[in-house]
A and B are shown apart, each in its own frame.
Chain A
Amino acid sequence: MGAIIESISFKNFYNYYGNYKNNIYRFKRGINIINADNNMGKSKFYNGVLWIVQDQVYDADLKRLRSVDESYILMASGKAKNEEHKFTMGVKIVFYEQEIKYTVLKEVKFQKDNNTWNLLPSFNLLQTEDNKDISILDIKEKEKIVDKLIPEELKRYALLQGESLEELVDLSSKSGLASTIETLVGINTLINAYETSSNFVKRSSKDLADAEKAANAENQKVLELLQKKEGLEKRIENAQDCLEKYQHELEEAENTKQTLEAHLMNAKKREQYKSVMDKLEYQINEKKKKKDNLEKSITTEMFSDDYPWLLTGMGEYILDYSSSRIELVKQTVKRDWISEAIMLPKGSPDSQSLREMLEEGYCRVCGRSAKRDSEAWLHIKKVLERPTSKEENPRKNDFSDFFSNIQIETSPFVQNLEKVGEIIKNYRQDILDLDMQIKILEEEKEGAELEFINAGGINNKDDSSDSKTISDFTYAGRTIDQKTEDINKVKENISLWEREIKSIENKLTDKHSDENVNKHRHVNSMMKQLELLFKNTKERIFNEIIAALEKNANEKYKELTYGNLTSGGKLEFKKQTDGTVLVSIRDVNNNKITGLGTGFQRMKQLSIVMAIISSKIGNKQFDFPFISDAPFSEFGNNFINNFFIVAPKVFTQSIILIKELYDPRTENFLNNLGDQILEKMKKGDIPGTFYVNVIKEKADTANLVTDNKCYKL
């Protein structure tokens, strides 16, 4: 019988601020979905489970598991740390196993003294049976009960996180394969028996050699044969050491290649998106520079020599000026003409006479008084001051150039200013166009960033590890080829030496029939048969398991990829020279398919996990909670749909932390696929529960508070 989780709740744990009752998720058999956007608590939720089952949390920055002892401060709610001096952080899981209810509670009390947090961790476990609560006090007993939630050997299959999905089932290393086989059938006893029989073979061979030497102390020829045999055995032993070393190196290279292969698709993608992001960033910067220059030039355009925006709509004033100037010119010409017309006739008084008339106040022409400042006096004065010839300008000043220069300078504006309105309009449009282009490029860049992050990228896109991954992958491939060749060579030698030994042994058998020697020979032969028997049994079980696993994994793979437009091929489990198994994807003609997207690679792994889980217990379901915080985005909607159909057949209870059903723009935060799955759950087509995590209010990461909405219980 396995375990079923009834609820998981949090208190001041990462984003989960507040008490357990405010942060509780109740679960059922079937699929339990927690749908949340990035940074809304999926990985934090997963870390809560990790804390309970193995006292670790996954550090996304370091990309590895860390002990909770060194992570408590990070695990506590930012809001609680900022606002309170004393609080408790904790995770509570309630689960059933064989009708017994267990409440596991791990907490840390935080208290701030002199700006330093004092931490006091605790681990409590309550067992409830027939409505009776029993506190479990013994730490070993507590750990044993927590193991009932997810047994140690199944943890690697039951807890999926991030890209670890790709490294989950490692059949290409001896330890990985042994661990998987052991998980499935528990054949450690058989392996031990085989190793013991090998030791017996060695010992009996030595005893036989000693007996033969003793029996043939006088026979030089036999001694020579024995010596030669010993020499060959020694060489075989050395060659086997060498073989073991090569196999170890091969295994390491295969491990490296397998690990890198899991990352290779993403590494290549990341490299590709990095390059796209760099290109887009360059384009964005160029557009921004252009826009910036346009904006900075606005004030220059205001004072442009030809089309000054400053004077927009002011062209009419030039026309006014022009009219005034024409008027001035007319007046000047008229005045000059008048000056010419008042030239006096002959016999008129000369200037001296006119000056005397003014002094006397008397007009000698008409014989009348002309008092100072009277009309007549002013007339005489005017006649005196009249211009005496056309060449003599009657005006005191001549500003005609002053007025005309102004007109010359400003007259180009008459036509140009009419165009300024249109120029400004176009200029504004150019900036708006650039804004739009920048926005589109930024959206494209965001898209590329999202793809980059989905491919496992972190914020620091300058990380050069991806190019290293690609070159390490190539190097590992070369090492595998070299080591395989070395191993084959050594094996050929061993085989040759073994044949030589056999020949020597035949000669020795023909020469002697010493009873003691025969007895040892008989024992040695028995031991060798026994060793072979154990070896063959072990190999047969291995082969059968791998064949069953291949069949089962292919069934799951087919179900998971059902309906995909691209064929995902089929999985092939191939035994390697070192006894390990390499899983590859083959097409209908049995050719290896490479270059399939990360989605297919992950489906391959997930199919193997499901196959292992199914194989372990025959046709029954996996009776332990399956908890996944693996990214589904690479799979596509079709896979997600298939997964929700297949998963309940394999796992009694699964908790799936997923963001691919989330859409912040909708009222219920679900996209179309989310709505469809929720509908199926409400109808009972998919058993389970459905939660959506939301953020109470916008805040920086340190103060983020996650809340949850239950759509289906």
Chain B
Amino acid sequence: MKSVELRDLINQKRPLYKKEYRDMIEAISIKGDRTRGGTHSTFGAFYRTYMYAFIIGYKLGKQNFITAEDKSPVEFAPIGQWQPVRIREFICMLILNKSSSFGFTWSDLEDASEETINVFVTEFVNQIQGYANAGLEYLQDKWDKDRFEFQDPFVFVNILEDLNHT
């Protein structure tokens, strides 16, 4: 298998998030003005919220995987459509940095069968989901407990900075 095929496999994948976070994601993605009376603290695109949540989960070092008990998880935009490309690639890089922790060394991948590669890609996306849903869980908690904080236009920066210091 060539790099392009692996890239295609990954790009076609649509990561999932848990249904319980849907309202919060909508609120901070496009309907921020509903609670803040302003529009400045919204992300605009869902996939940005998802990328942001991923970084939070990653910084926390925590994963919240989708399990069979999670009913009707919501499908997200295909990874290939995420913008900016550089940040998407950075996320891929972060997952690849940890690939051996979920059973795949890079050199093994060079020898792996197509079936194994498919398993790898599934796990790759599962890892993204794990971090992103952990980040969403964290945001949901903040959203529920201190919604006032989201009136601050710097709220998303503040959250990241807080995590850098912990």
List residues of chain A with CB under 8 Å of any chain B CB.
292, 295-296, 298-299, 302-305, 308-314, 317-318, 320-321, 324-325, 327-328, 331-332, 395-403, 405-407, 409-410, 412-413, 424, 428, 431
Interface presence of B67 (CB below 8 A): no
What distance in Å separates the Cβ of B148 from its nearest Cβ neighbour in chain A?
Answer: 17
Question: Is the CB–CB distance between B41 and A397 below 8 Å?
Answer: no
Q: Number of B interface residues at 8 Å Cβ cutoff, please give it.
A: 44
List residues of chain B with CB under 8 Å of any chain A CB.
1-4, 6-7, 38-44, 48, 51-52, 55, 83-87, 89-90, 92-94, 96-97, 106-107, 109-113, 117, 153-154, 156-157, 160-161, 164
Neighbour of B43 across the interface among A299, A304, A424, CB < 8 A: A299
Taken together as a complex, chains A and B put the C-alpha atoms of A528 and B87 apart, in Å, by 111
Question: Is the CB–CB distance between B93 and A410 below 8 Å?
Answer: yes
Q: Decide yes or no: A317 and B84 within 8 Å by CB, A395-B110, A398-B110, A401-B3 being known contacts.
A: no
Q: Decide yes or no: A292 and B94 within 8 Å by CB, A309-B157, A401-B4, A406-B89 being known contacts.
A: no
Question: Is the CB–CB distance between A397 and B112 below 8 Å?
Answer: yes
Most chain A CB within 10 A, of B6, B55, B111, B157, is at B157
Question: Is the CB–CB distance between A311 and B157 below 8 Å?
Answer: no
What distance in Å separates the Cβ of A126 from its nearest Cβ neighbour in chain B?
Answer: 59
Most chain B CB within 10 A, of A298, A310, A328, is at A310
Q: Decide yes or no: A410 and B90 within 8 Å by CB, A298-B153, A396-B1 being known contacts.
A: yes
Q: Decide yes or no: A298 and B156 within 8 Å by CB, A396-B1, A399-B3 being known contacts.
A: yes
Question: Is the CB–CB distance between B2 and A397 below 8 Å?
Answer: yes
Question: Is the CB–CB distance between A399 and B110 below 8 Å?
Answer: yes
Nearest B residue to A294, CB-CB = B153
Question: Is the CB–CB distance between B107 and A331 below 8 Å?
Answer: yes
Most chain B CB within 10 A, of A298, A331, A397, A405, is at A397
Taken together as a complex, chains A and B put the C-alpha atoms of A302 and B45 apart, in Å, by 13
Question: Is the CB–CB distance between A321 and B157 below 8 Å?
Answer: no
Taken together as a complex, chains A and B put the C-alpha atoms of A292 and B41 apart, in Å, by 11
What distance in Å separates the Cβ of A36 from its nearest Cβ neighbour in chain B?
Answer: 36
Which secondary structure dominates where chain B touches chain A?
helix
Taken together as a complex, chains A and B put the C-alpha atoms of A403 and B96 apart, in Å, by 9
What distance in Å separates the Cβ of B136 from its nearest Cβ neighbour in chain A?
Answer: 15
Question: Is the CB–CB distance between A324 and B106 below 8 Å?
Answer: yes
Q: Decide yes or no: A402 and B7 within 8 Å by CB, A299-B44, A318-B93 being known contacts.
A: yes
Question: Is the CB–CB distance between A302 and B52 below 8 Å?
Answer: yes
Taken together as a complex, chains A and B put the C-alpha atoms of A317 and B54 apart, in Å, by 15
Neighbouring A residues of B55 by C-beta, 8 Å:
310-311, 314
Question: Is the CB–CB distance between B160 and A310 below 8 Å?
Answer: yes
Question: Is the CB–CB distance between B154 and A298 below 8 Å?
Answer: yes
Shortest beta-carbon contacts, A-B, top 7: A402-B3, A401-B3, A295-B153, A409-B89, A295-B40, A296-B40, A395-B110
Taken together as a complex, chains A and B put the C-alpha atoms of A321 and B91 apart, in Å, by 12
Neighbouring B residues of A399 by C-beta, 8 Å:
1-3, 6, 106, 109-110
Question: Is the CB–CB distance between B2 and A398 below 8 Å?
Answer: yes
What distance in Å separates the Cβ of B118 from its nearest Cβ neighbour in chain A?
Answer: 12
